Amino acid sequence: MTRFILFLFLILNSLSLKSQLYKPLDTADYAQRKVFIKTYTAENELYIKDLKNRYPGKTGQELAKIYKEFETDFVTQVKNKDFIFNSALDADVAALIIKLRKNNPNIPQKLKVLIAKDNAPNAYCLADGTFVINLGLFNLLENDDQLASVIAHELGHKMGEHVLRDIVGFINQDKMDKITVQNIKSDRLNRNKKAFDVLKIRLYRKGIEKRKNEMRADSLGFVLYRKTDFSKTDFVNALQNLKKYDTISPVPVKLETYKKYFSLPSQEFKDKWMKKEDFSAYDYKAFKAKINEDSVASHPEIPERVAKLQKYFTELKTTAPPAPSSESFKKAEHIARMEILPNFFHAEEYGLGIYTSLQFLQENEETKYYENWLGKCFAKIYEGRKNYTLNRYLDRIDPKDQSESYQQFLNFMWNLSLNEIKTIADYYQNKKS
C-alpha cells in the first residue's frame, strides 16, 4: 500500500474530467457472475485433466490439487464482487486482444477479460486464458498502445507457460527439500541454521527464476506486439511508467487540510490530534535483515528490462512521446480515477480511503464526492474502533517504510477518541453540500 500512496502523486497531477454526478460502477451483476463461474470451473477442470495427462504420477496429482485450490479461491473472489462485469472496459480490452491476434494467429482463441476492483497497476493471465486487468492500470498508463503492451507481456507469460513451469519446479524442489530436511533432522548440530539456509536458498532461486520469466515475457510479448500497428516505442514507455510508480514522491497532506476538514461546528480541531509517536530512540541501522530483499525480488529493475529489450530489438532504441489517447481510453482513465475510493472501501482499506480522500480534497477536486467517502470510511473506522478490530482497517505506524505525511496521518487517526471519530463520521455522512 505504501507504493500506492506514492502513486497518488501521478494521479493528483493528471487531468480529470468533471464528474460531480459520478456514480460508482454497479456490481449487482449476479447473472453475469454466475455464467462466468460456470464457464471458468468447467474449463479449469479440463485444464486439470490435461495436466494429469502431461504430468503423470505424483507431480500431476500435486498440480491438480494446486489448480483446484486456486479455482476455489478465484471463484470466492468472483462471488465477493472483486471484479466488474458487463462493463465497457471489458470490450476495450477485448478489442486490443483482437488487434494483437490479427497478425499473431498463435495467440489462443479462448481468452476472456475481467476488470478487477483493485487500485494497484497490475495485470495477469490465468491458466484457462482469463485476463485480469486491475482498474489501477488505467491510472498508470497513457493510451491503448501501452495497455496492449501489458497484455502482450502477459500473453508472453501464458504462451511460455511460465506459471505452470514455476509450479512444477516448486513441486520438484519440494521433493528435494524434504530429503534435505530429513538429513538435517538426523544431524544434531546447527539444525536451525541449516533449515534457514535451505529456506533462504529456495527464496533466492525463486526470485532469480521469476526475474528471468519477466525478461522472457518482455521479449515474447514484444514479438507479438511488433507485428501490429501499435506504437513500438509505447512498449518501452509503458515500462518507464512502471518505473515512475516505483520512484515517485508522495503528495503530503498539509496541516491546513486537517484543520479545514476536521474543524466542525460541533467539534473544534484539537492540536493534540497531531501529536506524533516518538521513535527517535530506535536505531534502525542496528537492524540487519536475514533475507536480502533484492535477492528475492520477483521483478528485475526497469532499466535492466529496457536495456535487455533494446539489445535484442534495435527499433526500441528510438524514443518518442506516447501516442494520443483514444476517447474510450480517456473514459477508462476517468472511471479508474473515480473508482479509487470505492475500491478501497470494497477492500476494507478504510484508513487508506480517508488519507486518499484528504489528498484529493486538498487539490479541491470533486469536493462533494470525496467528502461523502470521507464520511463512509470514518463510519467504518468507528465500527472497527468500537468492536476492537481497528487494526484490520488502519495501519500501525512504521517509520522505516512509511512517508512522514502518512505517519502523521496515522498518528492523527490513532489519537482520535471513539466519540470524536463518530462525530466526524456523522458530520460528513449527513452533510448536504
pLDDT in tens, 44-55: 999 999 999 999
- Read off the pLDDT of residues 318-328 as tens digits, 9 standing for 90 and up: 989 999 999 99
Q: Which value, to the nearest 10 degrees, does the dihedral of the CA atoms of residues 251, 252, 258, 260 take?
A: -50
- Read off the pLDDT of residues 279-288 as tens digits, 9 standing for 90 and up: 665 555 555 5
Which three cell numbers, joined as nine digits, stand for 329?
A: 481510453
Which three cell numbers, joined as nine digits, stand for 122?
A: 497490475
pLDDT of residue 183: 57
Q: Can you tell me which residue has the cell 466488474?
A: 84
pLDDT of residue 3: 55
> pLDDT confidence of 125, banded at 50, 70, 90?
confident
Strands 83-84 and 112-116 turn out to be antiparallel
pLDDT of residue 130: 86
CA distance 374 to 381: 10
Burial 366-400 (b: 16+ CB within 10 A, else e): beebbbbbbbbbbbbbbbbbeeeebeebbbebeee
Q: Can you tell me which residue has the cell 460508482?
A: 24
User: Can you give the pTM of this predicted structure?
Assistant: 0.84
Report whether 150 contacts 238 (CB < 8 A). Answer: yes
Poorest-pLDDT segment among 163-167, 173-177, 184-188 = 184-188
- State yes or no: pLDDT of 200 exceeds 70: no
Report whether 12 contacts 358 (CB < 8 A). Answer: no
**In the predicted model, what is the mean pLDDT of the chain?**
85
Q: Which 3 state secondary structure label does DSSP give 115?
A: strand
Q: Can you tell me which residue has the cell 456514480?
A: 23
Query: What share of the chain has pLDDT > 90, as a percent?
Result: 60
Q: Can you tell me which residue has the cell 495497455?
A: 147
CB neighbours of residue 41 within 10 Å: 16
Which three cell numbers, joined as nine digits, stand for 46?
A: 479440463
pLDDT of residue 338: 93
Determine the average pLDDT of the residues in 91-103.
92
Helices first, then strands: H and E counts in the chain: 18, 4
- State yes or no: pLDDT of 112 exceeds 90: no
Instruction: Fill in the amino acid letter for 206.
Output: K
Within 8 A by CB and 6+ apart from 309, the residues are 218, 219, 222, 235, 236, 239, 316
For Cα atoms 130, 298, 12, give the angle at the middle one, nearest 5 degrees: 75
Report whether 54 contacts 60 (CB < 8 A). Answer: yes
Report whether 200 contacts 291 (CB < 8 A). Answer: yes
Report whether 173 contacts 163 (CB < 8 A). Answer: no
- State yes or no: pLDDT of 21 exceeds 90: no
pLDDT of residue 242: 84
pLDDT of residue 189: 57
> pLDDT confidence of 399, banded at 50, 70, 90?
confident
> pLDDT confidence of 296, banded at 50, 70, 90?
very low
| Structure letter (DSSP) for residue 391 | G
Which three cell numbers, joined as nine digits, stand for 23?
A: 456514480
